[in-house]
Amino acid sequence: MQVIRHPEPRKRAYELNKLAKRLRRQVGEAIADFNLIEAGDRVMVCLSGGKDSYGLLDALLALQAKAPVPFELVAVNLDQKQPGFPENVLPAYLAARGVAYHIVEQDTYSVVKRVVPQGKTLCGLCSRLRRGVLYRVAGELGATKIALGHHRDDILATFFLNLFYGGKLKAMPAKLLSDDGRHVVIRPLAYVREDDLAAYAEARGFPIIPCSLCGSQANLQRQVVGAMLREWEKRHPGRVESILRALSDVRPSHLLDGSLFDFAGLRPTGQPAPAGGERAFDSMELGEPLFAED
């Protein structure tokens, strides 16, 4: 993890400034690439008290101040009544920063504890309940977008979880329609690395609320996939970024999904493929393998 702990204050400030700029640039790129925020939007920023959501709010506030189009931000925290939840931390932080906010109190914790059998992970039901509450609140607040703090590494971990365990080529989109069809959910941190968010949170001294209050065991498969990605990145720098790029450069004609490409109706056209187009034998044309074998 990149940590900003240079002994010289000026050097530390320089590094933090560089990191803040990168964060804003990457959030700005995601907003532009997916048209995440438009003029007149009222964006509900979901704030859990974790490093990612603090980073998200911080970047959106900075961009809002310079954005060529006006949009509103309202921070929302769902107090799920987990034992020991420090309920004053977020209101104090948000008030000090002058951010409009709304705290929703709903005891999903007891529901999850009551319904999920002992020893089973709580996260599935907990997230579904939380999502439902957030959609309701978005409607009540007149929010036109719901912003979540998922970052690049969440997207990639989801991609591999679906690949390994779900048999699906599917990640987490940067923009999607909510399950109830009434809201647009956005992920402005889609291009941001998790270790950048961790370093930024530490350097900015965000008052982090630990996510272990619920006592749920962490999602083991997600942890294993996360460790796999970190190990790849260590051994083959650039690999993780390449996988992310691949998610935005999909060739249905070179996969096996007949619902995305009309393989059945494929006929000779008599025309050569355009420059840079698909090639039947392109695996032989790549030359050096992209990555050395593990």
Residue (of 177, 259, 201) closest to 49 by Cα position: 201
Contact flags string 183-212 toward ligand SF4, x per CB under 6 A: ----------------------------x-
Look up residue 181 and give its two tokens: 């069809």
43: β partners: 73, 145
Specify the residue, 26 or 216, whose C-beta has the smaller distance to ligand SF4.
Answer: 216
Distance CA(246)–CA(241), nearest Å, equals 9
The reply to whether 53 sits near ligand SF4 by the rule CB under 6 A is no
Q: Do 42 and 76 meet the contact criterion of CB atoms below 8 Å apart? A: no
Q: How many residues interact with ligand SF4 (rule CB under 6 A)?
A: 7
CB of 154 to ligand SF4, least distance (A): 13
Give the closest residue to 45 by CA, choosing from 81, 72, 79: 72
Burial class (CB in 10 A: 0-12, 13-18, 19+), 22: middle
Question: Should residue 250 be labelled a site residue for ligand SF4 when binding is judged by CB under 6 A?
Answer: no
Least distance CB 82 / ligand SF4 (angstroms): 7
Looking only at residues 105 through 134 of this chain, which bind ligand SF4 when binding is defined by CB under 6 A?
Answer: 122-123, 126-127
Quote the least distance from Cβ 42 to ligand SF4, whole Å: 26
242 binds ligand SF4 (CB under 6 A): no
Residues that bind ligand SF4 (CB under 6 A): 122-123, 126-127, 211, 214, 216
